[in-house]
Chain A
Amino acid sequence: EAEVAQSPRYKITEKSQAVAFWCDPISGHATLYWYRQILGQGPELLVQFQDESVVDDSQLPKDRFSAERLKGVDSTLKIQPAELGDSAMYLCASSLRARLDEQFFGPGTRLTVL
């Protein structure tokens, strides 16, 4: 069964360092989402791509976060510099069509900033 791949699964870094997360969606899925999930809360959308275009990044802290999906397939989320408050689970998800279809979530990257 096709799955969304993410790496790394765990990342520990010191504040002010740069970190990057990678996501490979299910083949053929045009829509890709990056979420941040803090313990005890629901996933918060950071950025949504349709193919290689950004549909929404209104919740992305653009002074330190960046995301790209250059060829409309895999995607990278970067944080530079990392802050203590960035510690969270970062989830990637993909779907065939944004509105009508289920999202398939990857296993996530657990980020700890010391």
Chain B
Amino acid sequence: QQPVQSPQAVILREGEDAVINCSSSKALYSVHWYRQKHGEAPVFLMILLKGGEQKGHEKISASFNEKKQQSSLYLTASQLSYSGTYFCGTGRSGGSYIPTFGRGTSLIVHP
């Protein structure tokens, strides 16, 4: 089942902070975050694993609440280059990992 992302869109000025949320109705083993710029392929940002292991990228951080089946992506002091659509991808606990992506959150950073 597709994870739900919120908000659908965020508009910021450079230097402002943003939080993007991802929630699932199913138990999660891992959460992947990707950013996609217009006309380009998604690019990996971060993986969060059950048990707390985290792999990061750039100055973006994230959290993973296994009990609530939620993850949040934190973009601090946004830069113009942060603009794009952010997707979370989830995999079900146990068995084979079958990735499912949310519908995305569009982030626009203005000067």
Residues of A within 8 A of B (CB): 33, 40-45, 48, 55-56, 91, 98-108
Contacts and interface: CB of A to CB of B under 8 A. Distances in A.
Contacts of A43: 42, 87, 101
Interface residues of B, number: 25
A104 B96 contact: no
B41 A108 contact: yes
Contact of B32 (A48, A56, A91, A103): A103
B71 to A, nearest CB: 15
15 contacts: A42-B89, A42-B102, A42-B103, A44-B101, A45-B100, A55-B96, A99-B29, A99-B91, A100-B49, A101-B47, A103-B42, A103-B99, A105-B42, A107-B41, A108-B41
Contacts of A44: 101
A111 B97 CA distance: 28
A51 B43 CA distance: 23
Contact of B98 (A55, A101, A104): A55
A5 to B, nearest CB: 12
A108 B39 CA distance: 10
